[in-house]
Amino acid sequence: MKVVLEDGTVIDCGGYKALDTGLVLTEDPKRKHVVGFVPHDRLRFVLPDDALGEGEHGDGTAGFVPDDERQRRIDELEAQVAALEAQIAELATERTATAGSETSESGESEPEDLTVIDGIGPKYAERLTAAGITTFRALRAADVVDVAEATGVSEERAAEWIDATRTARGDRETDDRAASEESERTSTEESDDEERQEEATS
């Protein structure tokens, strides 16, 4: 199939997976090997291989598609793309609102640096970002198969990363508690010092 960008660039690929942030392009229809990513703001539409080239007559033989017919197909596809983009925008808005509500209720936000997880370097972090996975929360909620496909690693390794998000989260919560306790202790000591100074003055 062909992915047509807003600037007229045409990219050939075997398949794709639609995300809120764009399309993950794959080498084959089974979406086993990721070959690229196109954000929605650069995407015009996706076409089958023969959509803008040759068509078929009633007898199944290939034939040339006239310009007016080709333009009609393009107009129809653009209308479909516009409708899909509107749906995607609506879903993205709902998802953002839901995520904001969850963050507000939990009173915490997940760290963004996925490279703190053992085995995830800048390259894999970039692939995860391209797949729309940018936080520990998103990685923890992601499907093992999707993570494996997006990064090109085995499902076993993807599962290890997902499990590691729980440990990373626990470490962060421990650090937060320690920082809070240290702050309280410092505040108490300062208060005691002030009381002693007042007693000495009086």
pLDDT (tens digit per residue) in 41-76: 888 888 776 555 544 444 444 445 567 777 788 888
Instruction: Mark whether 22 and 99 lie in a shared domain.
Output: yes
Q: Are residues 59 and 143 in the same domain?
A: no
The reply to whether 78 and 170 lie within a common domain is no
In the chain, beta strands by DSSP E: 2-5, 10-12, 15-18, 22-26, 34-39, 43-47, 54-56, 62-64
Verify that 174 and 99 share a domain, yes or no: no
Q: Tens of pLDDT along 119-134?
A: 899 999 999 989 988 8
- Number of domains forming the structure of the chain: 2
- Of 106, 134, 168, the one marking the end of a domain is 106
Q: Rounded to whole angstroms, how far apart are CA atoms 38 and 58?
A: 36
Residue 66 DSSP class: P
Sequence letter at residue 141: A
Closest CA to 131 of 23, 44, 1: 23
| Same domain as 121, residue 98 | no
CA 165 to chain centre: 16
Number of H helices, E strands in the chain: 5, 8
CB contact at 8 A, 139 and 124: no
For 156, the domain range is 114-201
Q: Are residues 66 and 137 in the same domain?
A: no
Q: Domain check: are 42 and 83 in the same one?
A: yes
Tell which of 106, 140, 158 closes a domain.
Answer: 106
pTM score? 0.33
Q: Do residues 6 and 97 both lie within one domain?
A: yes
- Which CATH number do you get for residue 194? 1.10.150.20
> Whole-angstrom Cα distance, residue 69 to residue 65?
6
* Residues 131, 191 within the same domain: yes
Of 106, 133, 158, at which residue does a domain stop?
Answer: 106
On whether both 150 and 98 belong to a single domain, the answer is: no
pLDDT 10s digits, 124-180:
999 998 998 888 888 888 999 999 999 999 999 999 998 888 776 545 554 556 556
H or E segment to which residue 128 belongs: helix 122-130
- Tell me, yes or no, whether 123 and 67 share the same domain: no
C-alpha span between 131 and 121 (Å, rounded)? 15
Same domain, 102 and 171: no
Q: pLDDT per residue over 74-133, tens digit each?
A: 888 888 888 888 888 888 888 777 766 555 454 444 556 888 888 899 999 999 989 988
